[in-house]
Amino acid sequence: MEGNVIRAARYPFLPEAREFVSRHIDLSLESLDKTGSEAALKRAVERVKDALILKEVRVTPQHESNYVREMLSFPLAIILVSAISNEYIRRIYSLGESRGAYKRMLRENDETLLFIGERLGVRGIMDNNGFIKISIPTYLNLAYVFHEHRWKLVNRIVDKGYVWVSRTEYARLIQVEVNNYVYEKTLEPIPVTVVPQRLKEAMKTIIETWNKLEESKPSHAISEEAGENPPCISRILKRMEAGENTSHFERLVIATFMIAKGKDIEEIIELFSKQPDYKYNITKYQVEHLSGLRGGGKKYSVPSCRTILANGLCYPDEKCKGVKHPLGYGGRSIGGKPRVS
Ligand code: SF4
């Protein structure tokens, strides 16, 4: 029993944590104005602040030992994020919870890792060498967020409807599921019309932290005009247009995005022409390589929102709500069909 409760506190998105909370704790928001919930609310604020500042929600053995507070703090954090209704905070919080969970999962034994996957609908079966097979649909639903070639189904060992992954890769796939789960939860409206005072105070603390972080970020003086492109893309394009030196990842995002939008290779090369290290032939080679015209015909995919966020380049606006991929911005589907994850 003790072990199970600790595990539920360590992974509070597991169904057993939810069951524990609904069985033992009054989670009605009205109860927040009664005594007894301060500690859980404080910890909920800490969860969100961890995500904002460290991009990872830490759960220490001390947190776990106070398991009731720990389990309760998770739904409270979701309520806080949902009530703040800021797209960036939603996304960074989901990423923070999933990243923390990933690191903890890597330290688990095989049995626990498989158990967590099973409970989250990412069922895996391990062989004697420690490799794990998962069904192709499950794999595809999660691996689409990774743009590296090794995640493409054609580059995997596939056997009788299953894909083989390493232990670490399995934990990465579960991380995606956790990220999606937390994000979806934060999209749900909070179940009250009048927000309790304590919740308002907790929200204020989080917003203040976020404002401070925003102020400390270098400004790229981007005007927020509405456009066809998602804000992440517009920002990079404006920096390129201004002749600022962009990172390798930013260039990859722009090139793959423009390729996916069907832009002409020469048009794409032109976008890079103001880069301080611009050389036409090298840029042409790289763009053609990304588009699959060179190097074995492999076309690179556009990084997912999650990856762009993890690289600090996500600046969501209202049209980003629920979007998991820049190509899905503004309600467009990717590859002609809506993404599930
Ligand atoms: S499209 Fe995705 S990555 Fe780009 S700004 Fe919107 S949410 Fe962020």
Q: Domain check: are 7 and 33 in the same one?
A: yes
pLDDT in tens, 88-122: 999 999 999 999 999 999 999 999 999 999 999 99
Domain range for residue 129?
A: 110-179
Q: Is 257 in the pocket of ligand 1 (CB under 6 A)?
A: no
Which atom of ligand 1 is nearest the CA belonging to 230?
A: 1
Residue-wise pLDDT tens digits, 196-238: 888 899 999 999 999 999 888 755 444 444 468 999 999 999 9
Please state the rounded mean pLDDT for residues 275-294.
Answer: 91
- How far, in Å, is the centroid of ligand 1 from the Cα of 180? 15
pLDDT, greater one: 34 or 209: 209
pLDDT of the residue at 30? 66
Ligand 1: centre distance to CA 329 (Å): 7
Question: Ligand 1 within 6 A of 12 CB?
Answer: no
Residues 157 and 58 in one domain: no
CA of 238 to the centre of ligand 1 (A): 16
pLDDT (0 to 100) of residue 338: 31
What's the number of domains the chain is made of? 3
Give the residue, out of 88, 320, 334, with the most ligand 1 atoms within 8 A of its beta carbon, to mutate for a pocket test.
320
Whether residue 151 is contained in a domain is answered as yes
Quick one: 194 and 152 in the same domain? Answer: no
User: In this structure, are 128 and 97 located in the same domain?
Assistant: no
Q: 341 pLDDT exceeds 70? A: no
Would residue 264 count as lying in a domain?
A: yes
d(CA 268, CA 270): 5
Tell me the β-bridge partners of 126: 132
Checking if the pLDDT of 313 tops 50, the result is yes
> Quick check: is 270 in a domain?
yes
pTM score of the predicted model: 0.83
Helix 67-84 × helix 167-187 angle, to 10°: 60
d(CA 88, ligand 1 centre) in Å: 9
| Model confidence pLDDT, tens digit, residues 67-87 | 989 999 999 999 999 999 999
CA-closest residue to ligand 1 atom 8: 314
Last residue of one domain, picked from the residues 215, 234, 263: 215
321 in any annotated domain: yes
**Ligand 1 atom closest to 316 (CA):** 5
For residues 141 and 71, membership in a common domain is answered with: no
Q: Are residues 185 and 232 in the same domain?
A: no
Residue 341 domain-assigned (yes or no) = no
Kindly state whether residues 288 and 322 are assigned to the same domain: yes
What spacing in Å lies between the alpha carbon of 253 and ligand 1's midpoint?
A: 11
pLDDT computed for residue 148 by the predictor: 80
How many whole angstroms from 319 Cα to the centroid of ligand 1?
Answer: 9
Closest ligand 1 atom, CA of 308?
A: 3
pLDDT for the residue numbered 35: 52
Residue with CA nearest ligand 1 atom 2: 305
Ligand 1 atom, smallest distance to 313 CA: 3
The answer on 194 and 84 residing in a single domain is: yes
| pLDDT over 90 at 271, yes or no | yes
Q: Do residues 182 and 75 lie in contact, with contact meaning Cβ atoms separated by under 8 Å?
A: no
Q: Which residue has the higher pLDDT, 242 or 34?
A: 242
Quick one: 81 and 115 in the same domain?
no
For the segment 152-179, the average pLDDT, to the nearest whole number, is 95
What confidence tier does 145 reach under pLDDT thresholds 50, 70, 90? confident
- 336 occurs within a structural domain: no
Is residue 145 domain-shared with residue 18, that is, in the same domain? no
pLDDT at 224: 46
Confidence of residue 339 (pLDDT cuts 50, 70, 90): very low
**Rounded Cα–Cα distance for residues 112 and 274 (Å):** 51
pLDDT at 333 over 60: no
Q: What is the pLDDT of residue 206?
A: 97
Do the domain assignments include residue 339? no
Residues 313 and 231 in one domain: yes
Return left, alpha or beta for 157; rule: phi > 0 is left, psi -120 to 50 is alpha, else beta. beta
Ligand 1 in contact with 302 (CB < 6 A)?
no
Q: Would residue 340 count as lying in a domain? A: no
For 158, phi and psi rounded to 5 degrees? -120, 135
Q: How far apart are CA 232 and CA 308, in angstroms?
A: 8
Higher pLDDT, 213 or 30: 213
- What percent of the chain clears pLDDT 90, i.e. is strictly above it? 73
DSSP state of 302: P
Nearest-angstrom CA–CA distance, 187 and 81: 9
Q: Examine the pLDDT at 299 and tell me if it is beyond 90.
A: no
Of 168, 198, 215, the position where a domain reaches its end is 215
Highest mean pLDDT among 124-128, 145-149, 299-303: 124-128
**169's tokens:** 């890769």
- Whether residues 61 and 115 fall in one domain: no
Average predicted confidence (pLDDT) for the chain: 88
